[in-house]
Structure 1
Amino acid sequence: MNANASLKTPQAIRELIRNGDYSGNTSGFAPGFVQANLVILPKTYAYDFLRFCQLNPQACPLLGQTDAGAVGLDELAKNLDLRSDLPRYRVFKNGQLVCEPTDVSDIWRDDLVSFLIGCSFSFEEALIADDIEIRNISEQKNVPMYITNIPCQSAGPFKGNMVVSMRPMKPKDAIRAIQICSRYPKVHGAPVHFGDPAAIGIEDINTPDFGEAVTIKDGEVPVFWACGVTPQVAITNACPDFCITHSPGHMLVLDIKNTSLATF
């Protein structure tokens, strides 16, 4: 991780990424500002995917949607270019991951609709402010993410189980995290589970499906939040002919403040 990246403005971070000077994960970047997951689909799939988000708001809290072909969304970020402003993308063809480029300008199409989805990195700031350690930040790792046995509601061809992100905490901090994160429904809200990973279908907590394993200390419990990687499982099942997403943990840093998403 670039040690100075968290000190830069969102636009400066996007320019750093756009210029090819950073391609890592964005955990801990731009404190105070919203980060977003990204799903880009041909217009023919847009209605069904929008419906999938509406039916599964905890895993897919929708922050914004572009018109077909648009590469920016001014209400969320000025001078945004969705083709180049994420550190790393994933490109799917017929539901299969084919590459993870750092720029998708050369494969952009005029029929593509982009969906920006809330990210758990946004609520980490509020937890840190309450003196709760966020292990993926303190260990400078990508947050661990797991495919669970929790089913999502289907919409057209989009279906699958929820993906969760995990942060280990002392039980008292887990209770406090539930209280704090309940105020942030646009960035996944309260945890969906804490304690026994097997209860939600996770066989090995030390082998995440995405991201990196973090240390779980004695006396701590794993705490799980719905995760914006959930659509990538649904995309694999839907098999659209073409799709672009963010690479897990490699988010889009927006200009809007986390506090603007809080409910009091």
Structure 2
Amino acid sequence: MSPAQARERFRSGERVPTAGWCRGWTQANLIAVPKRLRYELLLFAHRNPQACPVLDVGEPGSWSTRLFPGDLRTDLPAYRLYRDGAAVADLGEVTGEWRADLVPFLIGCSFTFERALLAAGVPVRHLEAGVNVPMYVTSIPCEATGSLSGPLVVSMRPVPEHLVTTAVEVSGRYPMVHGAPVHVGDPGAIGVRDLARPDYGDAVEVRPGEVPLFWACGVTPQAAVLASGVDYAIGHLPGHMAILDARDDDYRVA
């Protein structure tokens, strides 16, 4: 399926997590903030590049970008609306909520390197199970800017112990889409108390002989919107991504 075909299906009302969709095409997180915060969000991303790798930015009020020629208001499967530092609604489209002062940011997504993990023999459990990737809010603070601060969010994939090095090396070749894991092993060391209860997405089984690997996640800007009390913002519903007209291999380094 092409990105344009996927966007058409979402525009027509299909509401599903996008892990495994449009293999070979890049997916991205969406966060749209008021114009007055655009440079502050850019600075936040610059200070926290592994969690917030910026792939594209739109003009104020625009609903498309160079890499996303569709309609950002309708062509993702689901959205989350924020007001005054609270998530107030999950929506199928946000045409009526999209303000003229909103600036859309597209942030790299770890779905981009999952095809490479599979090719290297590393299992991806949420794809096997047909569910959303599990995501967790950690106790690790991001580096703050003037008014934006918040915790690092991570995604988790369990990996057989003998393939941990392979998973680290393969994902490390994709630095613009989070790169190598930020943590390997004990979830408690990063403030994750229960793998069976993710903050976003779905829990997956961690089998005997497997190690949980945690990658920085592009939901981190949404966590900052919450923690910082931002008055208005629109993001994707975690795991329900923007599918870009860019290839996964565009973000691979040797």
Q: What code does the residue aligned with 2:240 have?
A: H
Alignment counterpart, residue 68 of structure 2, candidates 70, 73, 77:
77
1:15 corresponds to 2:5: no
Cα distance in 2 for residues equivalent to 1:102 and 1:121 = 21
Cα distance in 2 for residues equivalent to 1:100 and 1:163 = 19
Alignment counterpart, residue 36 of structure 1, candidates 28, 36, 39:
28
8 Å Cα contact 1:69-1:109 kept in structure 2:
yes
Cα distance in 2 for residues equivalent to 1:133 and 1:123 = 12
The corresponding residue for 2:231 is: 241
The corresponding residue for 2:244 is: 254
Alignment counterpart, residue 53 of structure 2, candidates 58, 61, 72:
61
Could you list the structure 1 runs, at least 4 aligned residues long, displaced by more than 6 angstroms after superposition. Answer: none
What are the within-5 Å matches in structure 2 for residues 44-59 of structure 1?
Answer: 44-59=36-51
What are the within-5 Å matches in structure 2 for residues 83-162 of structure 1?
Answer: 83-162=73-152
Cα displacement (A) at 1:217: 0.7
Alignment counterpart, residue 211 of structure 2, candidates 198, 204, 221:
221
Cα displacement (A) at 1:126: 0.5
8 Å Cα contact 2:150-2:228 kept in structure 1:
no
Q: What code does the residue aligned with 1:170 have?
A: P
Cα distance in 1 for residues equivalent to 2:81 and 2:214 = 27
Q: What code does the residue aligned with 2:93 have?
A: D
Cα displacement (A) at 1:236: 0.7
8 Å Cα contact 1:45-1:240 kept in structure 2:
no
Cα displacement (A) at 1:40: 0.4
8 Å Cα contact 1:157-1:237 kept in structure 2:
no
8 Å Cα contact 2:117-2:167 kept in structure 1:
yes
Q: List alignment gaps of at least 5 residues for structure 2.
A: none
Cα distance in 1 for residues equivalent to 2:130 and 2:192 = 23
The corresponding residue for 2:165 is: 175
The corresponding residue for 1:186 is: 176
Work out the percentage of aligned pairs sharing the same amino acid: 46
Cα displacement (A) at 1:156: 1.8
Cα distance in 1 for residues equivalent to 2:125 and 2:230 = 36
Cα distance in 2 for residues equivalent to 1:17 and 1:192 = 32
Cα distance in 2 for residues equivalent to 1:164 and 1:218 = 22
8 Å Cα contact 2:134-2:204 kept in structure 1:
yes
TM-score (norm 2): 0.98
8 Å Cα contact 1:152-1:160 kept in structure 2:
yes
8 Å Cα contact 1:191-1:224 kept in structure 2:
yes
